[in-house]
């Protein structure tokens, strides 16, 4: 005889399972994880997975850059308070990076995003979604500062189609700082939703973050050494990321910690060339970035080149007079070791706007 408790447990299981399957089949691939170890070690890693070729270059942006929201006469303007090292997409958007204070920002796809309406001739200020992450890196040293400012909603984030495609840009933003704090920003139903807690160390794509947490809560009752969901879909990757980032060694040896984080983000990546006609949003990993926020090291690797290289932000001149500089990686250039001295002077790219 099946008890009432067993029936309820099975009902919950099949409800979560059906929910998980539904959202797993619609996801775009990208993963972000945060490792917090002994001696104030904090390392944030992400994979960039996309169904289109999405060329990346690395940029050094100094303090004192005059910025514009690029959405018409009602754009916000600001002057960068902090310098940063960032990864661009098509040199029209900042999608990842770390500033000189160790604050990290990552943009990941979120198909459920719905943004507020915006009248570029109206009274409300706007910011192109292409500069959302850069605005945070330019202006804030900690997650708490960013949350306090963005929660005022002095402007709205404005989106549009990726140039030359039929893909409407829908993303959510995660940030982390050297103190181990985390926040995730999403536009749901036209409203800004902020999830702020040091425990929010994992983010993938669909579903919305609140529902990702619900899926993971179910899987926490199943030991990861016995079974983990194994597909490349977002819900599966969220569960595996949550397990692995807490299973790797807790160590103050930064070499081992960094290698462990790299091993996790590589495990969560989608093999290059993987695609599906029935699931067009299943996407190959194109590059990975790992940010050591304690030691201010920003690692980067493209799947098309054999080497991992890094920038030591402590060696970078972020003064206003130093100007913007770029390190080209979109043509398959091969670098090795610390490369801060290889950036060349170049005018900052213009963020894609309206």
| 51 within some domain | yes
**Structural domain that includes position 123:** 4-345
| 352 within some domain | no
Distances from the Cα of 326 to the Cα of 56, 59, 152, 307, angstroms:
11, 4, 33, 19
Tokens of 173: 């933003």
Q: How many domains does the chain have?
A: 1
172 vs 98: CA distance, rounded Å: 17
| 350 within some domain | no
169 vs 162: CA distance, rounded Å: 6
| 354 within some domain | no
| 150 within some domain | yes
Tokens of 196: 């702020």
Tokens of 8: 């309820």
| 213 within some domain | yes
Catalytic residue check, 7? no
At 209 the three-state DSSP class reads: helix
Catalytic-role residue among 27, 28, 29, 30: 30
| 201 within some domain | yes
Distances from the Cα of 346 to the Cα of 61, 150, 327, angstroms:
10, 30, 10
Contact 115/157 with Cβ under 8 angstroms? yes
| 351 within some domain | no
CATH code of the domain in which 291 resides: 3.60.60.10
pLDDT of residue 331: 92
Distances from the Cα of 353 to the Cα of 50, 63, 64, 155, angstroms:
21, 22, 21, 15
- Per-residue burial over 213-248, b if 16 or more Cβ lie within 10 Å, else e, is bebbebbeeeeeeeeebeebbbbbbbbbbbbbbeeb
Q: Where are the beta strands (DSSP E) in the chain?
A: 30-37, 41-50, 57-61, 66-68, 77-79, 84-89, 93-99, 104-109, 126-128, 156-158, 171-176, 182-188, 191-196, 202-203, 284-292, 297-302, 309-312, 325-328, 337-338, 344-345
Q: How many residues does the chain have?
A: 354
pLDDT digits (tens, 9 = 90+) for 1-42: 444 344 434 433 333 444 444 443 344 568 999 999 999 999
At 33 the three-state DSSP class reads: strand
Q: What is the pLDDT along the chain (354 residues), one digit of tens a residue?
A: 444 344 434 433 333 444 444 443 344 568 999 999 999 999 999 999 887 788 899 999 999 999 999 999 999 999 999 999 999 999 999 999 999 999 999 999 988 999 999 998 888 999 999 999 999 999 999 999 999 999 999 999 999 998 888 889 999 999 999 999 999 999 999 999 999 999 999 988 777 777 777 666 655 655 655 557 666 677 778 888 888 999 999 999 999 999 999 999 998 888 887 765 555 456 788 999 999 999 999 999 998 888 999 999 999 999 999 999 999 999 999 999 999 999 999 999 999 998
Alpha-carbon Rg for the chain, nearest whole angstrom, is: 20
SS3 for 131-169 is: HHHHHHHHHCCCHHHHHHHHCCCCCEEECCECCCCCCEC
Which conformational region is residue 25 in: left (phi greater than 0), alpha (psi within -120 to 50 degrees), or beta? alpha
pTM here is 0.87
Neighbours of 350 (CB within 10 A): 13
129 vs 121: CA distance, rounded Å: 18
């Amino acid at each position: 005889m099946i008890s009432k408790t067993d029936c309820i447990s099975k009902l919950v299981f099949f409800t979560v399972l059906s929910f998980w399957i539904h959202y797993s089949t619609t996801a775009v691939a990208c993963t972000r994880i945060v490792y917090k170890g002994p001696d104030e070690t904090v390392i944030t890693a992400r994979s960039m997975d996309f169904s289109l070729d999405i060329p990346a270059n690395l940029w050094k942006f100094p303090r004192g850059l005059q910025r514009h929201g690029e959405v018409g006469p009602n754009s916000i303007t600001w002057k960068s308070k902090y310098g940063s090292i960032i990864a661009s997409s098509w040199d029209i958007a900042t999608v990842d990076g770390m500033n000189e204070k160790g604050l990290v920002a990552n943009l990941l796809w979120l198909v459920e995003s719905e943004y507020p309406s915006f009248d570029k001739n109206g009274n409300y200020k706007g910011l192109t979604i292409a500069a959302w992450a850069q605005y945070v890196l330019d202006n804030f040293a900690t997650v708490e500062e960013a949350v306090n400012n963005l929660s005022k909603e002095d402007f709205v984030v404005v989106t549009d189609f990726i140039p030359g495609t039929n893909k409407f840009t829908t993303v959510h933003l995660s940030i982390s700082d050297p103190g181990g704090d985390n926040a995730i920003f999403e536009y749901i139903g036209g409203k800004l939703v902020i999830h702020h807690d040091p425990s929010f160390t994992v983010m993938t794509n669909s579903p919305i973050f609140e529902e990702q947490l619900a899926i993971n809560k179910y899987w926490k009752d199943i030991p990861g050494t016995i079974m983990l969901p194994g597909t490349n879909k977002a819900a599966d990757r969220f569960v595996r990321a949550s397990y692995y980032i807490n299973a790797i060694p807790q160590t103050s040896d930064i070499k081992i910690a960094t290698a462990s984080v790299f091993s996790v983000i590589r495990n969560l990546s989608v093999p290059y060339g993987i695609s599906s006609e029935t699931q067009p949003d299943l996407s190959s990993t194109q590059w990975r970035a790992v940010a050591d926020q304690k030691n201010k090291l920003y690692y980067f690797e493209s799947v098309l080149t054999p080497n991992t290289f890094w920038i030591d932000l402590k060696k970078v001149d972020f003064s206003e007079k130093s100007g913007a500089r770029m390190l080209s990686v979109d043509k398959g250039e091969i670098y090795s070791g610390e490369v801060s001295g290889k950036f060349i002077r170049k005018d900052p790219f213009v963020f894609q706007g309206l």
